[in-house]
């Protein structure tokens, strides 16, 4: 089932990589984090939207059980946290001023310079907690929005293509 889930969520996995790279680049370009810079490429925001959509489509299009929907949330949540962890690690190792090192992104008081060990500990916690949040979002997507998802049969309306 995991290989089916990975095929099903290929697009969001690629989008999460693109968003991570874009967020990294926007920070490197010197765009101020607030008020708008942070919102441009939110990896967590994208992951939540993808989890809602793919959770909603998990049954009618993916033909997954509820366990499959849980796996969809787990894969999306874990992948986004791996991308965030990796981008933070690269930022520190290369001494780059990216959004992944910003005090607000690391949930510390304003202006705090966060040492690498503390930042990586925070990100490691995200590897554990983040996927759980996204699993819940995928399950909500399925429970609330599944009826809005198209079915594979909707594509065949009798017209020749």
Residue 154 is predicted with a pLDDT of 64
112 assigned to some structural domain? yes
Rounded to 5 degrees, what angle do the CA atoms 50, 91, 125 make? 55
- Cβ distance 81 to 127 under 8 Å? yes
20 assigned to some structural domain? yes
* pLDDT tier at 149, thresholds 50, 70, 90: confident
84 assigned to some structural domain? yes
Whether residue 161 has pLDDT greater than 50: no
116 assigned to some structural domain? yes
Other CB atoms within 10 A of residue 35 CB: 7
Residue 38 is predicted with a pLDDT of 79
Predicted confidence (pLDDT) per residue in 101-131, tens digit: 999 999 999 989 999 999 999 999 999 999 9
Return the CA Rg of the chain.
18
* pLDDT tier at 155, thresholds 50, 70, 90: low
Total domains in the chain come to: 1
Of 59, 79, 75, 85, nearest to 2 (Cα)?
75
- Cβ distance 77 to 9 under 8 Å? no
82 assigned to some structural domain? yes
* Alpha helices for 29-154 (secondary structure H): 38-40, 43-57, 66-93, 116-145
159 assigned to some structural domain? no
Q: Which domain holds residue 33?
A: 2-147
- Cβ distance 100 to 91 under 8 Å? yes
Predicted confidence (pLDDT) per residue in 13-59, tens digit: 999 999 999 999 999 998 888 877 778 899 999 999 999 999 999 99
161 assigned to some structural domain? no
139 compared with 40, residue with greater pLDDT = 139
154 assigned to some structural domain? no
Mean pLDDT of 84-95: 97
- What is the percent of the chain where pLDDT is above 90? 81
Residue 140 is predicted with a pLDDT of 98
Whether residue 5 has pLDDT greater than 50: yes
pTM, to two decimals = 0.90
């Amino acid at each position: 089932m995991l290989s089916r889930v990975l095929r099903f969520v290929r697009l969001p996995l690629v989008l999460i990589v693109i968003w991570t790279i874009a967020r990294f680049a926007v920070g490197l370009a010197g765009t101020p984090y607030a008020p708008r810079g942070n919102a441009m490429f939110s990896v967590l925001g994208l992951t939540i939207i993808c989890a809602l959509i793919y959770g909603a489509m998990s049954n009618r299009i993916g033909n997954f059980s509820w366990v499959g929907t849980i796996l969809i949330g787990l894969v999306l949540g874990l992948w986004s946290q791996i991308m965030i962890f990796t981008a933070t690690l690269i930022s520190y190792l290369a001494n780059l001023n990216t959004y992944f090192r910003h005090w607000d992104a690391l949930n510390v008081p304003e202006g705090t310079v966060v040492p690498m060990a503390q930042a990586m500990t925070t990100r490691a916690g995200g590897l554990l907690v983040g996927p759980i949040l996204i699993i819940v979002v995928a399950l909500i997507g399925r429970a609330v929005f599944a009826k809005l998802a198209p079915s594979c049969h909707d594509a065949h309306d009798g017209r020749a293509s």
